[in-house]
Amino acid sequence: MVGTDFFGNFDLASAAIWLFWIFFAGLIYYLQTENMREGYPLETDDGAIAPNQGPFPVPKDKTFILRDGRGELTVPSGQHPDRQVLALQRTSKAAGSPYVPTGDAMMDGVGPAAWAPRRDVPELDAHGHAKIKPMSALADFTVSAGRDPRGKPVVTGDGEVVGRVTDMWIDVPEQLVRYLTMDLNPEGTGQTRLIPMNFAKVGSDRVTIRSLYAHNVADIPTIGGGDQITLLEEEKVMAYFGGGTMYADPRRQEPKF
């Protein structure tokens, strides 16, 4: 009965509280090790294995079956062992010292232009269809409010006209414009690049992309599919525009004040 001592001062209430603490400690251990399936084992900024991996061991491999027939993924060992050697150099031997690019930061994908190696497949909606599609392929979508950017010239941060907008890419489930298609020649050459909508300002007579200059436009990462964009391609395009906010002009790397 409750209150009866099993031995000494150890009764049923003591057993219950100790069982709770044991369960809680096991839960913390399980959640922490499951959380280590991505990004582990830890590495230094130079790519070497970090000397301090933390108090918890890396969990054993677990294989996940991906939806929509996209194969399997085994973690943690199935991550990206062939890590790209970044074109960066440490400014000092002291721990925590900043790194500086050693080449073309925007092309090398470092600093603000860094991108993550996401899967090279399109993002899908709940029905297994590609989420982001060009508006020219969507008969049910029209511009119902705001300015239609199609046909407007594209002007970069240095005031140069580098092309014109020919299409928009729509996130179908969210009903948002994600990208603009830009032809690199106002007369139409067929060479196109994508402009992330959050880096574009649509005016009454032009579309402005301040993060890039004219000499950067030809190197905007391209996409492989005609009417699809993969997660990896999105990552690279967004990173390139983000990197331009700092690296398009050397003066942007200097202090403002």
Tell me if 246 is assigned to some domain: yes
Q: Are residues 247 and 130 in the same domain?
A: yes
At residue 230, the pLDDT reads 94
Q: Are residues 141 and 240 in the same domain?
A: yes
Whether the pLDDT of residue 28 is over 80: the answer is yes
Tell me if 97 is assigned to some domain: no
Which domain covers residue 24, as residue numbers? 5-35
At residue 240, the pLDDT reads 95
Tell me if 224 is assigned to some domain: yes
Whether the pLDDT of residue 19 is over 90: the answer is yes
Model pTM greater than 0.85? no
Q: Are residues 15 and 140 in the same domain?
A: no
Tell me if 47 is assigned to some domain: no
As a whole number of angstroms, the distance between CA 205 and CA 187 comes to 17
At residue 14, the pLDDT reads 84
Query: ∠64-118-171 over CA atoms, to 5°?
Result: 100
Q: Are residues 123 and 248 in the same domain?
A: yes
Whether the pLDDT of residue 3 is over 60: the answer is no
Please give the mean pLDDT across all residues of the chain. Answer: 87
Tell me if 50 is assigned to some domain: no
Q: pLDDT tens across 204-214, in order?
A: 999 999 999 99
Q: pLDDT tens across 175-196, in order?
A: 999 999 999 876 656 789 999 9
Query: ∠62-65-70 over CA atoms, to 5°?
Result: 135
Whether the pLDDT of residue 245 is over 90: the answer is yes
Structure tokens at 252: 């942007």
Tell me if 102 is assigned to some domain: no
For the chain, the domain total comes to 2
Q: Are residues 30 and 124 in the same domain?
A: no
At residue 6, the pLDDT reads 66
Q: Read off the pLDDT band of 152 (50, 70, 90).
A: very high
As a whole number of angstroms, the distance between CA 137 and CA 168 comes to 10
Polymer length in residues for the chain: 257
At residue 170, the pLDDT reads 94
Mean pLDDT, residues 165-176 taken together: 92
Q: pLDDT tens across 108-132, in order?
A: 888 899 998 888 899 998 888 899 9
Q: Read off the pLDDT band of 95 (50, 70, 90).
A: confident
Q: Are residues 244 and 129 in the same domain?
A: yes
Q: Are residues 125 and 221 in the same domain?
A: yes
Mean pLDDT, residues 133-145 taken together: 89
Q: Are residues 130 and 239 in the same domain?
A: yes
- Taking alpha carbons only, the member of 209, 190, 70, 205 closest to residue 149 is 205
Q: Read off the pLDDT band of 38 (50, 70, 90).
A: confident
Q: Are residues 130 and 248 in the same domain?
A: yes
Q: Are residues 243 and 137 in the same domain?
A: yes
- Looking at residue 141, which CATH number applies to its domain? 3.90.50.10
Mean pLDDT, residues 198-222 taken together: 94
Q: Are residues 29 and 125 in the same domain?
A: no
At residue 140, the pLDDT reads 87
Tell me if 59 is assigned to some domain: no
Tell me if 244 is assigned to some domain: yes
